[in-house]
Structure 1
Amino acid sequence: MDLRQAYVEARAAGATRHRDIAQAMGVTEGMLIDAHVGAPSSGLQAQRLKRDFPRLLAELSRAGELMALTRNPHCVHERTGVYEHVSAQGEPGREMGLALGDEIDLRLFYSQWAHGYAVREGEQQSLQFFDAHGVAVHKVFTRPATQLAAWQALCVSWADPDAPAPQWRTDTVAPAVDAADVDAAAFRAGWAALRDTHEFFGLLRKHGVRRMQAMQLAAPEFAQPVDRHAARVVLQGASANGTPIMVFVGNPGVIQIHGGPVQRIAVMGPWLNVLDPRFNLHLREDAIAQAWAVRKPTADGLVSSLELYAQDGELIAQFFGQRKPGQPERCAWRQLLDGLVDDPVWSEETTGCAA
């Protein structure tokens, strides 16, 4: 198949998103982008990048304001800001990193980053990063306030014209099998003993438990199933009362976080959207198989969240009340979450939260 010609025909037929066009062709998005390396000056153009991705992201601050985009199959998270305080540690190719800017907040798992491209289509310019299968892990787009001279210099310095064509992986990874012999009592005791939300990942590993299974094993005071449309209630409630929230969306390569208020909430067909000037969220409500109101004990008091899961058990998105380490969560956020739960076991906790 001539992917370039098929792409031109799909564009002429009105298709817009690269991911959708690639799926219609039976290839991954990375394969479609790579097919345009060395393309003519019109239309879609792509250039392979050097593969020191942690250092590349650390240099993005030179370009000023950019838009960070991270998605999974059911949710897209877009945040405008500056890539600040970017760091990484670990052996080359397996680094774990952070970006801790005021607006762009990322957790980066570089072992999942296989290929990067500088992409241009008309006036739209971006850096796009893919895993070994060609599935997008993260994208960076220019904005009207971007320092374009610095951006273009960065694209030139990171271009790798001698990079060979990728050997894309086409195997599929079987989903993890939930352990049948989980010690539920020990798992629940470990949950009750948490002192930091980050300890939850270690608890899952220790007991060989997948995240959605953990919800089902948890004691009722720590996890309760709620309506699949709970995210709509939470976003509309936070918008109405001005409660600042945190929205986590990720894939194996990146977790992207919005922290702050949300304002314009719009439902368009199956999509639940936040359409604010510097933060956009696009969530497929019809992909949500389970939603859970969750509590974790910490040294700062209970931390409450809403977690959304797809049919295959993968996490789609998480919602928290915005707070800083060392501070309790806001009472307004806790009341918003408690309002989702219709169970006497989940009693409203009015202590240990901040006005």
Structure 2
Amino acid sequence: MNTATLTFDRTSRAELQARHAELVAAEPRLRIRDRAQRLGVSEAELVAAECGPTAIELIATGERPMQTLFNELGTLGRVMALSRNDWCVHERHGAYEDIKAEGPVGLVLGPDIDLRLFFTCWQHCYAVTENDRRSIQFFDREGVAVHKVFLTEHSDAAAYDALVAKYAARGKRQPTPETIPASNELPDVADAAALRDAWLAMTDTHQFFPLLRKFNVSRLGALRAAGSDLAQPVAIDAVETMLQSAVASGLSIMCFVGNRGIVQIHSGAVHKLLRTGPWFNILDPDFNLHLNTEAIAECWVVNKPTSDGWVTSLEVYAANGELIVQWFGERKPGKPELAGWRELMVSLCATPLAE
């Protein structure tokens, strides 16, 4: 048991529980993220107040407590990892292997669970039980869910119990959300020609984010300035077209979904597609994706030079300019892009891409 002793405002907890109960009675099908928004609180506050689930806060000591807790996930065996943003949910089954989570940026490079971690905003962690389903849930400083890890029938339940016993806080407390400052990047680039030159000089797709920082421009601002041979808008339903083609051909793809604290990646073929209202879904045994297509404002095919040849992606954006989901053909460094993926991306475009 962790020795940290916490305090909890029981009046606030009782009031929040009462308001939550009224909302659930009126709209029982709302998910917790939506319930938090309706109540004007963060999801972490609902979890901490045990509005629905039971929750135990997990606290580690040291300079990087979130990394300490995250590094324990490898003990749980095969689980379901979930990362999401407001418009897309990415669920992947597997084990946390090859974890590198010591500093502000981390990686998980297992064959099934593949993550990029940005710990600067991570703040809270809870062991959560709801309807007999147990999970470890991480939240950022604003109380927004960053990453959730759910036990399955294949998980090591004893290891989960040991993790909770090791880090469980004594007592309860209500988290106080902190505002995370918005990015100060600009919607338009000051020197489009210079950005294009820098784009053409790239030798690796990972150089794109430093390029955005150098020019202090948003992703969409860069795409709009680069020229249609490097980035061009395509049809709003391009994701569905791409996925249907990938399923039909057996094409192996990569799917990236993230928020400010994490990017979660799936690599491999996909098989079962299903639309449910506004949600377009991938429903495979080890990979599920849920994409709200009503939230799609723009889709772009993006073309980047690398030392392995040109690499193309399909990028999907919300109305506020945030990236919802990003797709590539499956590839590894040192390997050229899959010809089938390149042909598919070219087929979506109205004008030729640079070659």
TM over 0.5: yes
Pick aligned residue for 1:124 from 133, 147, 151? 133
Q: Specify the alignment match of 1:346 in structure 2.
A: 353
Cα deviation digits, residues 48-73 of structure 1 (max 9, x gap): 11142222222212110111111111
Q: Specify the alignment match of 1:32 in structure 2.
A: 46
How far apart, CA to CA, are the structure 2 residues paired with 1:72 and 1:318?
A: 13
- Cα gap change, 1:54 to 1:174, in 2 (>3 Å): closer
Shift of 1:28: 1.5
Structure 2: give runs of 5+ residues left out of the alignment. 1-11
Q: Is the 8 A contact 2:185 2:216 kept in 1?
A: no
User: What does 1:191-340 align with in structure 2 at a 5 Å threshold?
Assistant: 191-340=199-348
- What secondary structure sits across from 1:213 in the alignment? helix
How far apart, CA to CA, are the structure 1 residues paired with 2:312 and 2:189?
A: 28
How far apart, CA to CA, are the structure 2 residues paired with 1:34 and 1:331?
A: 49
How far apart, CA to CA, are the structure 2 residues paired with 1:197 and 1:223?
A: 14
How far apart, CA to CA, are the structure 2 residues paired with 1:332 and 1:58?
A: 37
Q: Specify the alignment match of 2:76 in structure 1.
A: 63
Shift of 1:212: 0.7
How far apart, CA to CA, are the structure 2 residues paired with 1:211 and 1:318?
A: 12
Q: How many residues align?
A: 337
Shift of 1:195: 0.2
Cα deviation digits, residues 205-247 of structure 1 (max 9, x gap): 1111110111101122111110111111111111110011000
Q: Specify the alignment match of 1:3 in structure 2.
A: 16
Shift of 1:164: 4.7
User: What does 1:60-209 align with in structure 2 at a 5 Å threshold?
Assistant: 60-90=73-103, 95-161=104-170, 164-169=173-178, 171=179, 173-174=181-182, 176=184, 178=186, 182-209=190-217
- What secondary structure sits across from 1:312 in the alignment? coil
Q: Is the 8 A contact 2:312 2:342 kept in 1?
A: yes
Fraction of identical pairs, as percent: 47
How far apart, CA to CA, are the structure 2 residues paired with 1:254 and 1:346?
A: 30
Shift of 1:193: 0.8
Amino acid at match of 2:260: P
How far apart, CA to CA, are the structure 1 residues paired with 2:129 and 2:211?
A: 43
- Cα gap change, 1:158 to 1:214, in 2 (>3 Å): same
Shift of 1:165: 3.5
How far apart, CA to CA, are the structure 2 residues paired with 1:163 and 1:11?
A: 23
- Is 1:46 the equivalent of 2:46? no
How far apart, CA to CA, are the structure 2 residues paired with 1:194 and 1:151?
A: 44
How far apart, CA to CA, are the structure 1 residues paired with 2:290 and 2:263?
A: 15
Q: After alignment, is 8-17 or 218-227 more displaced?
A: 8-17
Q: Specify the alignment match of 2:7 in structure 1.
A: none
Cα deviation digits, residues 99-118 of structure 1 (max 9, x gap): 11111000000111011111
Q: Specify the alignment match of 1:352 in structure 2.
A: none
- Cα gap change, 1:288 to 1:162, in 2 (>3 Å): same
Q: Is the 8 A contact 1:54 1:87 kept in 2?
A: no
TM-score in terms of structure 1 length: 0.90
Pick aligned residue for 1:19 from 17, 29, 33? 33
Aligned residues: CA RMSD: 1.8
How far apart, CA to CA, are the structure 1 residues paired with 2:312 and 2:249?
A: 18
How far apart, CA to CA, are the structure 2 residues paired with 1:236 and 1:33?
A: 38
Shift of 1:9: 4.0
Shift of 1:180: 5.6
Q: Is the 8 A contact 1:57 1:83 kept in 2?
A: no
Q: Is the 8 A contact 2:188 2:217 kept in 1?
A: no
How far apart, CA to CA, are the structure 2 residues paired with 1:125 and 1:70?
A: 16
- What secondary structure sits across from 2:41 in the alignment? coil
How far apart, CA to CA, are the structure 1 residues paired with 2:108 and 2:189?
A: 38
- Cα gap change, 1:342 to 1:179, in 2 (>3 Å): closer
Q: Is the 8 A contact 2:67 2:102 kept in 1?
A: no
How far apart, CA to CA, are the structure 2 residues paired with 1:200 and 1:175?
A: 17
Moved over 6 A (4+): none
- What secondary structure sits across from 2:20 in the alignment? helix
Structure 1: give runs of 5+ residues left out of the alignment. 350-355
Q: Specify the alignment match of 2:9 in structure 1.
A: none
Amino acid at match of 2:41: V
- Cα gap change, 1:175 to 1:194, in 2 (>3 Å): closer
Shift of 1:15: 2.4
Cα deviation digits, residues 154-185 of structure 1 (max 9, x gap): 1111212257532222x474563516661111
Shift of 1:33: 0.7
